[in-house]
Amino acid sequence: MKDDVARHALDPCAGSRPLMTVEAAIAHALCLAAAVGEVETVPLDNAIGRVLAQDVTAPFPLPPFDNSAMDGYALRSVDLVGDGPWCLKVVARVAAGEDAAKVAPLNPGQAVRIFTGAPIPSGADAVVMQEKVRRDGDSLILTSPVACGDCIRRAGEDAARGAVLLPAGTLIGAREIGAIASVGLPQIAVRRRINVALICTGSELRQPGEALGPGQIYNSNRFMMVAALRQPWIRMTDLGAVADDPDRLREALVQASRKADLIVTTGGVSVGEEDHMTAQLRRAGGHVEVMKIAMKPGKPLTVGRLGRAVFLGLPGNPVAAFTTWKIIGQRIAARLSGQRDTVRPGVQAEVTETFSRRPGRQEYRPARVVGASGGGSPRIELLDRSFSAKISLICQSDGLAVIPAAAEQVTAGARLEFIPL
């Protein structure tokens, strides 16, 4: 943590405790998130967006039999010796779904009309595309040679018997459904959905549709987070908005912890007198494991535990809540659900303008793509530096540019990681 201490020294807002790097915060938070163990079986039609509980292996080779990759003619490549053209006799026909055993093994000089996906008849060792030959009655005239194995999809070339097609922990999408169906499974074992409880805090919050009184704003986080949590692998319970009242907040936390694997809250994690979250988490019997992160926005993001639930306290500013959910929260939820950690690095993008900044926190700055560099990577324009309360900015942006904590100046043309939104 030497590095943290050095970064802390650069951040005048750090208080008495060193800030934790984003990487350390993520690593620590992920350690808290043990995958739910329960497994259920779902029909393949309902498996989209669920998390595979076991490896899917091929119980037989894929494809199961040698078959034609083209519409054309199956032949014996040894028949095409010497100089062409060659003439073969078409003696039979096999289409997809037919049994190749109905065709007698090919004799020298014979060919079989064949279609894509049809099994290769015995004796044939190559297929020639119909576009490359001329047909005259029963005669097939070829002018160029065909090599053994041409246009044949071999049994097992996609997956050998016993090969792992999909590892446990895969989030099932359309292509995974296709793979599962290809091995003949009508249903599949998935992890149970994780239970996520959502609590938004703030005495100033009103529901869209209600009239705003003085000092009041609409509860954007609630709708944003409900939308973010609407995933097939999540069962979400919305516990509504709770005023900045310590007792009511604690009651909501306790209620949430009864069923939830993950409690997501927004607001109340800063250090103001109306920020009661961590105190009430502790009073409810929970504890904090990660706080004060060298992240902008997101310094107040807090991760801890309450009973058997992981606690994730997102900051109240909607952009900060959105960003911290995207960068850290989502990974905690995914880990709880049993997903393999599949975070891919963002793309490298070139900044358009030189700017200086106060070092100390890793910044996730909304940015807009304005073109492409000579090398083909996106060129990005960074948006307003004070952005964490501006929902309009995040909506105008194409992604988040990641400015390293130590950077004091970023020069035009420099490359930053860019996380598309």
Name which of 27 and 217 has its Cβ closer to ligand AMP. 217
Q: Which of 315, 360, 378, 399 binds ligand AMP (CB under 6 A)?
A: 315
Q: Report the alpha-carbon distance of residue 227 to residue 225 in Å, rounded.
A: 5
* Number of shown-chain residues binding ligand AMP (CB under 6 A): 18
> Which span sits near ligand AMP by CB under 6 A: 23-31, 156-164, 182-190, 216-224?
216-224
Nearer to ligand AMP, 268 or 286 (CB): 268
Position closest to ligand AMP via CB: 316
CB-based contacts of 405, cutoff 8 Å, min separation 6: 7, 21, 22, 294, 359, 360, 361, 362, 363
Nearer to ligand AMP, 318 or 359 (CB): 318
CB of 250 to Mg ion, least distance (A): 15
- Could you check whether the bond before residue 297 is cis, i.e. omega within 30 degrees of 0? yes
The answer to the question of residue 205 lying near ligand AMP (CB under 6 A) is yes
In the complex with ligand AMP, the residue whose CB is nearer, 21 or 266, is 266
Q: What residue 318 binds from ligand AMP, Mg ion, none (CB within 5 to 8 A, per partner kind)?
A: ligand AMP
Selection from Mg ion, ligand AMP, none that 266 binds (CB < 5 to 8 A by kind) is: ligand AMP
Instruction: State the nearest-atom distance from the C-beta of 275 to ligand AMP, in Å.
Output: 6
The only residue of 170, 219, 280, 324 in contact with ligand AMP, by rule CB under 6 A: 219
Q: Which residue has the tokens 């259920």?
A: 40
Site string for ligand AMP, 239-278 (x = CB under 6 A): ---------------------------xxx-x----x---
Cβ distance to ligand AMP smaller for residue 280 or 317? 317
Q: Which does 200 bind (CB under 5 to 8 A by kind): Mg ion, ligand AMP, none?
A: ligand AMP
Confirm or reject binding of residue 202 to ligand AMP (CB under 6 A): yes
Choices 58-66, 139-147, 198-206, 379-387 (CB under 6 A): range interacting with ligand AMP? 198-206
Which residue's CB is nearer to ligand AMP, number 286 or number 316? 316
Residue number with CB closer to Mg ion (72 or 267): 267
- Which of 121, 300 has the CB closer to Mg ion? 300
Q: Select from 21, 67, 317, 362 the one that contacts ligand AMP (CB under 6 A).
A: 317
- Span interacting with ligand AMP, options 64-72, 94-102, 202-210, 341-349, rule CB under 6 A: 202-210
In the complex with Mg ion, the residue whose CB is nearer, 241 or 403, is: 241
Residue 144 burial class via C-beta count within 10 angstroms: exposed 0-12, middle 13-18, buried 19 and up: exposed
CB of 196 to ligand AMP, least distance (A): 16
Three-class secondary structure assignment of the chain: CHHHHHHHHHCCCCCCCCCECHHHHHHHHHHHCCCCCCEEEEEHHHCCCCEECCCEECCCCECCCCEECCCEEEECHHHCCCCCCEEEEEEEEECCCCCHHHCCCCCCCEEEEECCCCECCCCCCEEEEHHHEEEECCEEEECCCCCCCCCEECCCCCECCCCEEECCCCECCHHHHHHHHHCCCCEEEEECCEEEEEEEECCCEECECECCCCCCEECHHHHHHHHHHCCCCEEEEEEEEECCCHHHHHHHHHHHHHHCCEEEEECCCCCCCCCCHHHHHHHCCCEEEECCECEECCCCCEEEEECCEEEEEECCCHHHHHHHHHHHHHHHHHHHCCCCCCCCCCEEEEECCCEECCCCCEEEEEEEEEEECCCCCEEEEECCCCCCCCHHHHHHCCEEEEECCCCCEECCCCEEEEEEC
CB of 243 to Mg ion, least distance (A): 10
User: Which parts of this chain interact with Mg ion (CB under 5 A)?
Assistant: 202, 267-268, 316
Site residues (vs ligand AMP, CB under 6 A):
200, 202, 204-205, 217, 219-222, 266-268, 270, 275, 315-318
